[in-house]
Structure 1
């Protein structure tokens, strides 16, 4: 029976992915910083094929625990889903550098380090890596400088790794969603590192986490390499490349309420 490891699995997209892979017959290894939330999710799924390990995804020791559990309890790792993430809503000039470091650590450095540590197991299974990027990595979004930078770095790293890992039979699916209805936005950081107090602005349609999870599962079954589920945001990214001045004017008007 195949095994999937999902980070950020206690809520939002991670939880919907856990439900989907559980229904598909996978063994699940789930992790999240929210220990109580993770325990509740495991109870909901039933413990027969599910193991949860709570912890901070930026902690290398947690990575060791997760991969050791894969070896000892399941004997394999077939799919690694780098889903855990955080964001901020604050103009760059009003953002404490510590916030930018935290966003980069969670959204870029942690998935990179976990993936590199997981490569031996993935080679054995000729498995797959799924990285949850963002359209914010393809185009600037005002008030999200740190998030845009982290997701851009994530996409570039895994696009390079795709070609290198393919020699070992490891496949790669990069997912570029736009605005989703998940707790990542509800828990967004402000410029001072505390929870953001203002609502978010959006481009295009805000999609549900269960819809997004279904799209990812389908893309994996189809053997796709990249998933751009929100056509409106994909077109906006093209506009940014073709007419950046026009894009900035539209973006500035749309996000004016967040600029203070």
Structure 2
């Protein structure tokens, strides 16, 4: 007997509604949270959101001065702790976990947020670019989550993996990033399935572009100024991008509700559904859009976005406000280069 598609859809919607109604939410008051890449950008926004909900938060990042500024910005008395370390170094990860246990008495929530992004034509990306970004965006979350599992299992904790809509749809000129985020999305599904038996819930979120001020930290290749201008403009367009505070709130909501996966932002949801329902059409549209992007160059050299600023990007008020709000200026005077 063939079951009508509308009946299947209605059953799925009913099951989702029932799950939201009867599955208890995970309270965050008094919980201890470790956020990687927590000193700026989305990590800082996530830390602020966890603090609002009564949690205690440890920030892990490489730059001690940046961490100090982030802690001052967050305030919250003794509920914020910082750990300087590199997520690609296992000894730093072990030290961070030990610090959280020492200061907060244990770990309840692990947020794998730290990441790299590179923008430019695939022709200008090297194999080393792919290996480097995979190490930070995929292997570091895998390594840290496995190290944290005994403690998370003991406390029936939770894990949040910050992937991207680029981990569901390969975006032109973001090839290494998309590859790493596709891998992270697959990792999230595997961890969710296998950690459930230990009472540890894993949530993977796929956000759209967000106004975090982070483009200045990205590596741009090809025609540097054109690539950066395009990347920074899209990232700070109110019609496409999402306010970082809103994105953080929705991500924490997904973790609290115990979702396996969640798209964050309307454009992410639209693109994700387009890929699922019409993959060939989506691929054709993306292939066509690539023709409109800056052409490759003879050099594979990359530069930080902050070194590719132009008058237009430097004086974009939305971008500059996000950079100030989310500690992306590296101690520079507000609004001054």
TM-score relative to the length of structure 1: 0.91
Aligned to 2:196: 166
Kindly indicate whether residue 283 of structure 2 is the aligned counterpart of residue 248 of structure 1. yes
Q: What SS is found at the alignment partner of 2:203?
A: strand
Kindly indicate whether residue 245 of structure 2 is the aligned counterpart of residue 210 of structure 1. yes
Shift of residue 245 of structure 1? 4.2
Q: Which 5+ residue runs of structure 1 have no aligned equivalent?
A: none
Shift of residue 172 of structure 1? 1.3
Q: Pairwise mapping of residues 173-252 of structure 1 onto structure 2 (< 5 A)?
A: 173-191=203-221, 197-200=228-231, 202=234, 205-252=240-287
| Counterparts of 1:178 and 1:108, CA distance in 2 | 19
Shift of residue 199 of structure 1? 2.6
More moved, 214-223 vs 101-110: 214-223
Shift of residue 129 of structure 1? 0.3
More moved, 15-24 vs 78-87: 15-24
| Counterparts of 1:100 and 1:180, CA distance in 2 | 23
Aligned to 1:5: 34
Aligned to 2:305: none
Q: 1:229 to 1:216 in 2, by over 3 A?
A: same
- Cα deviation, 1:24-77, whole Å, max 9, x if unaligned, reads 221211111232121111123335121101222111111011111122221210
| Counterparts of 1:24 and 1:153, CA distance in 2 | 31
Contact 1:86–1:184 (Cα < 8 Å) also in 2: no
| Counterparts of 2:215 and 2:130, CA distance in 1 | 16
More moved, 182-191 vs 30-39: 182-191
Q: Pairwise mapping of residues 1-260 of structure 1 onto structure 2 (< 5 A)?
A: 1-46=30-75, 47-191=77-221, 197-200=228-231, 202=234, 205-255=240-290, 256-260=292-296
| Counterparts of 1:52 and 1:235, CA distance in 2 | 37
Q: What SS is found at the alignment partner of 2:120?
A: coil
Q: 1:223 to 1:242 in 2, by over 3 A?
A: closer
Contact 1:85–1:107 (Cα < 8 Å) also in 2: yes
Contact 1:85–1:184 (Cα < 8 Å) also in 2: no
Q: What SS is found at the alignment partner of 1:77?
A: coil
Give the count of matched residue pairs. Answer: 259
Q: 1:117 to 1:26 in 2, by over 3 A?
A: same
TM-score relative to the length of structure 2: 0.71
Which structure has the larger Rg over C-alpha atoms?
A: 2
- Cα deviation, 1:4-23, whole Å, max 9, x if unaligned, reads 00011111111111111112
Q: 1:168 to 1:245 in 2, by over 3 A?
A: closer
Q: What SS is found at the alignment partner of 1:48?
A: helix
